[in-house]
Amino acid sequence: EDVVVHKVSAADDPFGKDPERHPALIVNSAKPYNAEPPPDLLIDAGFTTPNEIHYKRNHLPVPEIDPETYRLQVEVEGKQCVRLSLEDLKMKFPHYRVAATIQCAGNRREEMMAVKPVRGLSWGLGAISTTEWTGVRLRDVLAYAGFDLNEDGPLQHVQFEGLDRDMTQAYGGSIPVHKAVDPHGDVLLAFEMNGEPLPRDHGFPVRVVVPGVVGARSVKWLGKIIASTGESQNHWQQKDYKGFSPSVDWDTVDFSTAPAIQELPVVSAICAPTAHALVSAHEDTIPVRGYAWSGGGRGIVRVDVTADGGATWHTAQLAPPEGQPLHRAWAWTLWEAEVPVPEGARGKEGAKLEIACKATDASYNTQPELAAPIWNLRGVLTNHWHRVPLVVSDEE
Amino acid sequence: EDVVVHKVSAADDPFGKDPERHPALIVNSAKPYNAEPPPDLLIDAGFTTPNEIHYKRNHLPVPEIDPETYRLQVEVEGKQCVRLSLEDLKMKFPHYRVAATIQCAGNRREEMMAVKPVRGLSWGLGAISTTEWTGVRLRDVLAYAGFDLNEDGPLQHVQFEGLDRDMTQAYGGSIPVHKAVDPHGDVLLAFEMNGEPLPRDHGFPVRVVVPGVVGARSVKWLGKIIASTGESQNHWQQKDYKGFSPSVDWDTVDFSTAPAIQELPVVSAICAPTAHALVSAHEDTIPVRGYAWSGGGRGIVRVDVTADGGATWHTAQLAPPEGQPLHRAWAWTLWEAEVPVPEGARGKEGAKLEIACKATDASYNTQPELAAPIWNLRGVLTNHWHRVPLVVSDEE
Ligand SMILES: [Mo]
Ligand SMILES: [Mo]
């Protein structure tokens, strides 16, 4: 479940010290705070999403961390543990800047909930955002702490522990070591977001950014790193953020049978026009804009848009991320298309139509048509074609 | 197009020296020879496919090569060219053994052709096979020829030229350099196939094996390797083996707009029972067996099977490739499931039903439902759900 309801008096409210947020965000949960930008705001912002409208996905209260006393513990199992201040991190290691899209496993969940209820926050299509992150490489920090980058040894996982916690647990997760140490994997310990210090909602003073991987592993408010023989035993690694068959329900689910989500499948969405928008009866085409992205650094090679249920497809113009080749494309591809209004609807006041999009990534993976066959009890991994209903109108 | 018809007198037949082939193979084209094993033979053979029934996909006549005089040219642009004998290859470099599945881009094309005609051979589900390959690493040979493995320089492609040719061209292709030199990429120059010297149909004496990538880049009868600034300009790299929207036809296609296929999307197929097989009216369940595989080394995490059009799904038992972790799973996952006969068909002589399967890979990519939305003029990348029609019968 996404949210544990905390019953407390106002004075003891663990969320009482959460930061202020932008009023335009759509709030899916107030405590912990989970919110997304509306689709048109997201797309109008362009390639990088301004920090204040970047989607916020908090599992627990936002911790208050003093950057002066902050220490990051780095442990390589079988070696000593090192402690690094924020200053150490910034001074001891080269800085890197990486444009990366982060997407919540639950993005577009509301479309899956329309098939059958699931447990989870009702995210629209805005639980995805793109940032220019600045930080140091995880692999450099691991090497500093004694990890042998060239050895393919028993330490197969890198665990992260957050400093966000409640009475019973902290947030945490892990990634496979091959991703952590890959010189082309671009995993950062970030301290800047679009050129500013990380906002409190995004992990101040230091967070992990794992490009190409589900947002859940980009642990915020990073307290500890452990290079380990085993995966993180954290709740959100073991008992959540996994995919199951549509026929598995909460009575039959065995979380140990599925791997923790790491790379995400290819996805796309139409951000403009928005649902139930009016199409002018005087126009022959509809300008359509949206995003497409895939996990594992797989760039987007094509986006197809249809206004007639898939009878004809229109290939969108792509704006791929600059300087990111097809095998290392961590950031989304924004796209636009001029889609002809189908003849049956053209100029007809009140006619209804539906536009839909699907993307293809560099491995030529595509999106499935429907939500039902990918439905899962936790409502993650929603990546079927995105559909937007529209109405033709005479109004100017 | 797959096949250029050669009109010649029998004596001059360029295919006259092609080797003998196994009589059980289904021949899709005799000259050049293209053939696949029937589904039940493929699955009964188990994890590794015997060489003689491995699918054969030849673009041109099979060359006759004397292993004594054979030389492999290796060129790193801007450096000298080296020439290696078969003995050199075997003696100068460490040997590696890699189990890898190779799949033709056109596998399952016949299902796409059922939607609308395409240009290409009518492959069933057997244009995929798995082998224990033995050879030396491409990266070691490139380093020997002067390629700097640590430099991320201008040589972004590794081209391969085959010794198979006709009057106008030879076969060839290229892969991105990051795959070629990745120490975990396992690209081989192979000289053994399941412990035997390469058969002539499979590239004797030396072929490339690019695990996780479309078969077309695993160039057989390897004559030349070029580390280059550019992609191969070969026909099959530039004007073939690319994916397009269903709305692109031969009048409108511009091959320069799509990237050459490298990694393939997730696929699966039911090998047993075969189409129109009889289901005993006395049985409540159907034993179903098949394969699943994905490009890029992404292992298979789940296979779902349905006998009621997707209303209920049965999770198959998987046999993942031994010793291949989820991010380096080059070989297929065989699977089996006992699927209940739907109530409406159970025990009913003559009742028709359909079983279907879909796989999910380690990036949680899944297969699309239908062929029409992924249809493309060349009939490649067919990976929608595989469906097998069955008939209930009283016969014992
Ligand atoms: Mo998430
Ligand atoms: Mo192929």
Span A341-375, pLDDT tens digits: 999 999 999 999 999 999 999 999 999 999 999 99
**Chain B interface includes A302 (CB < 8 A):** yes
| Test mutation, A257, A365, A381, A384, chain B, max B CBs within 10 A | A365
Ligand 1 centroid distance, CA of A214 (Å): 7
Mean pLDDT of chain B: 96
For residue A176, what are the β-bridge partners? A157
Q: What is the pLDDT averaged over residues B156-182?
A: 96
- Tokens at B113, concatenated: 């052709």
pLDDT value at residue B299: 98
B132 bridge partner residues: B99
**For every one of its 396 residues, what pLDDT tens digit does chain A have, with 9 covering 90 and above?**
566 565 656 668 999 999 999 999 999 999 999 999 999 999 999 999 999 999 999 999 999 999 999 999 999 999 989 999 999 999 999 999 999 999 999 999 999 999 999 999 999 999 999 999 999 999 999 999 999 998 889 999 999 999 999 989 999 999 999 999 999 999 999 999 999 999 999 999 999 999 999 999 999 999 999 999 999 999 999 999 999 999 999 999 999 999 999 999 999 999 999 999 999 999 999 999 999 999 999 999 999 999 999 999 999 999 999 999 999 999 999 999 999 999 999 999 999 999 999 999 999 999 999 999 999 999 999 999 999 999 999 876
Phi and psi of B178, rounded to 5°? -60, -35
Q: Is B125 helix (H, G, I), strand (E, B) or coil?
A: coil
Instruction: Find all residues with CB under 8 Å of B297, minimum gap 6, and list them.
Output: B211, B212, B324, B327, B328, B329, B330
Name which of A243, A244, A259 is nearest B326 (Cβ-Cβ): A259
| Closest CB to A369 among B184, B365, B369 | B369
Q: Is the CB of B165 inside 8 Å of chain A's CB atoms? A: no
Quote the ligand 2 centre to A354 CA distance (angstroms). Answer: 37
CA distance B296 to A186: 18
In angstroms, what separates the C-alpha of B225 from chain A's closest C-alpha?
22
Q: What is the 3-state composition of chain B as percent helix, strand, coil, each rounded to the nearest 5?
A: 15, 35, 55
Beta carbons within 10 angstroms of residue B133's beta carbon: 26
Amino acid (1-letter code) at residue A28: N
Interchain proximity A296–B296, CB inside 8 Å: yes
Query: Could you tell me the two tokens for A117?
Result: 């209820």
By CA distance, what is B297's nearest residue in A? Answer: A363
Chain B CB within 8 Å of residue A263 CB: yes
Give the DSSP letter of residue A368: -
> What is the mean pLDDT of the segment spanning B125-142?
98
Rounded Cα–Cα distance for residues B237 and A321 (Å): 24
The structure tokens listed for B297 are 């080394």
Taking CB atoms and an 8 Å cutoff, what residues of chain B touch A367? 368
Residues in contact with B94: Cβ distance below 8 Å, sequence separation at least 6, in sequence order? B136, B137, B140
Counting one residue from A and one from B, how many pairs have CB atoms under 8 Å apart?
Answer: 119
- How many angstroms is it from A248 CA to the middle of ligand 2? 37
Tens of pLDDT, residues B235-247: 999 999 999 999 9
Task: Determine the distance in angstroms separating the CA of A379 from the nearest CA of chain B, rounded to an integer.
Answer: 13
Q: Which of B327, B363, B366 sits opposite A176 (nearest CB)?
A: B327
* pLDDT attached to residue B2: 67
Spatial CA neighbour of A371 closest among A381, A361, A363: A381
Q: pLDDT tens-digit profile of B339-377?
A: 999 999 999 999 999 999 999 999 999 999 999 999 999
**pLDDT higher than 90, residue B58:** yes
**B255 and chain A in contact, CB less than 8 A:** no
**pLDDT for the residue B395:** 78
Chain A: residue whose CA lies nearest to B264: A363
Q: Is B366 on the interface with A (CB under 8 A)?
A: yes
- pLDDT for res B5: 59
- Can the peptide bond before residue B94 be classed as cis, meaning omega within 30 degrees of 0? no
Question: CB B373 to CB A369 under 8 A?
Answer: yes
| Best to test chain A binding among B364, B366, B367 (most A CBs inside 10 Å) | B364
- Find, in chain B, the residue whose alpha carbon is nearest to that of A374: B366
A258: which chain B residues are within 8 Å (Cβ-Cβ)? 301-302
Rg of chain A, C-alpha, whole Å: 22
Ligand 1 centroid from CA A183, angstroms = 26
This prediction has a pTM of: 0.96
Find out whether A130 and A99 touch, Cβ atoms under 8 Å.
yes
Residues 310-349 of A with CB under 8 A from B: 310, 312-315, 325-328
Angle CA A375–A378–A383, to nearest 5: 45
Yes or no: say if B332 and B101 are a contact pair by the CB < 8 Å rule.
yes
B178, B247, B248 member nearest A184 (Cβ): B178
Please give the distance, rounded to the nearest whole angstrom, from the Cα atom of residue B193 to the centre of ligand 2: 19
